[in-house]
Amino acid sequence: MSTRRYAVFGHPVAQSLSPRIHAAFARQTGIDLEYTAIDAEPADFVAALERFAADGGGGANVTLPLKEAAFALCQHSSERARRAGAVNTLTRNDGHWHGDNTDGVGLVRDLTDRQGLDLRARRTLLLGAGGAARGVAPALLDAGVEELIIVNRTPERADALADALGEPERAHSRYWESLRDEGDFELIINATSAGRSGGHLPLPSTLTNSRTLAVDLSYGEGAIAFLAWARSVGCRSVVDGLGMLVEQAAESFRIWHGVRPDTDAVYAALREQNAILVTAD
C-alpha cells in the first residue's frame, strides 16, 4: 500500500506543529502517511494545492490566511464549513476538494473536556472576523454561550460574520472603538493575528470580571501579549490555542482515516515543549 500524502498550507507555515501532531497520530494508529508543511501565499494557493493534488495529495489542513479562500474553491463542503464560510480541512474525492471546518469542535473540546470549563450562559467577546474567528463562532453558539459580540478592525467583516451566523438575537457586531461601553464578558477569545505579527491589542480592563475566561487561538509566542494582558487584568482562567490545535487535528485525522486518535499524550508532549502557561480554575 502506498504512503498517503497530506499537508498543511499557510503563509507563513514553517513553524506549524501540525506535521508533528499528525506524525504522532499516525504512529499511534499504525497508519502510514506523509504530512508536510507547504508555504503558499494567497495568490499562489490554488496553484500550489493543485500541484499537491497532482502529486498524490489526499487531504490538507489550511491555516491563516487561506481558510476563506479554501472554502471558495471547494465543490462540496460540510454544514459546519458552510456556516463558518471558512475551511481548515480539505479532502480529495473524485478529483474534487471537499471542505470541512474542525476549528470550532477543536476549541470546544479543549475548553470543555480538557480544561473542564462550562461555556454555557457566558457573555462572549470574539476579537477578529477572519478565517479563525469564522471557524469557531458557530461552535460557540452551539455550545450555549449567552451572547456573542464580534469586533474587528474592519467593521464590515464583523457585520458580515454576525449576519452569516443567522442568530440575530445572540450574535452581534460592534465597533472596536466602542468596547469601553460594552460592559464585561465571561469569555473573551482573541482570533486576531496581532500577536503573531508583533502587534498590540488596545483592550480596556472593563471587559473582564471575576469569572472571565480569556482564550487566544494562537500558541507559543503569538499568544504571549494577549494572555499577558488577560493576567494583568485578573482573568480567572487563561488558555492558549495549543489544545485547540491538537483537537482540531484529531478531528481532521478522523475525517481522513476513519479513526479518532487519543489526544492527551500528544497534547502533554507539546505542552511540555511550549512554555505558555495555561491556568484554568
Q: Is 255 exposed, middle or buried (0-12, 13-18, 19+ CB in 10 A)?
A: middle
Q: Which of 5, 11, 67, 83 is catalytic?
A: 67
Query: How far apart, in whole angstroms, are the C-alpha atoms of residue 11 and residue 66?
Result: 8
User: Is 218 marked within a binding site?
Assistant: no
User: Is 112 marked within a binding site?
Assistant: no
User: Is 216 marked within a binding site?
Assistant: no
User: Is 17 marked within a binding site?
Assistant: yes
User: Is 18 marked within a binding site?
Assistant: yes
Q: For residue 148, what are the β-bridge partners?
A: 124, 171
User: Is position 67 annotated as part of the catalytic site?
Assistant: yes
> How does 56-72 read in b/e, with b if 16+ C-beta sit within 10 Å?
ebbbbbbbbbbbbbbbe
User: Is 131 marked within a binding site?
Assistant: yes
User: Is 57 marked within a binding site?
Assistant: no
Of 229, 27, 215, 258, the residue nearest 106 (C-alpha): 215
Q: For residue 96, what are the β-bridge partners?
A: 93
User: Is 219 marked within a binding site?
Assistant: yes
Of 120, 98, 125, the residue nearest 108 (C-alpha): 120
User: Is 129 marked within a binding site?
Assistant: yes
The three grid cell numbers given for residue 220, joined into one nine-digit string: 507559543
> How does 31-53 read in b/e, with b if 16+ C-beta sit within 10 Å?
bebbbbbbebeeeebeebbeebb
User: Is 154 marked within a binding site?
Assistant: yes
Helix 155-165 to helix 131-142 angle (10° resolution) is 40
User: Is 91 marked within a binding site?
Assistant: no
Query: How far apart, in whole angstroms, are the C-alpha atoms of residue 132 and residue 196?
Result: 13
User: Is 103 marked within a binding site?
Assistant: yes
User: Is 202 marked within a binding site?
Assistant: no
* Phi, psi (deg, nearest 5) at residue 53: -65, -40
User: Is 273 marked within a binding site?
Assistant: no
Q: Which residues are annotated as a binding site for NADP(+)?
A: 79, 128-132, 152-157, 217, 241
Q: Which residues are annotated as a binding site?
A: 16-18, 63, 79, 88, 103, 128-132, 152-157, 217, 219, 241, 248
Residues annotated catalytic, as ranges: 67
Q: Which residues are annotated as a binding site for shikimate?
A: 16-18, 63, 88, 103, 219, 248
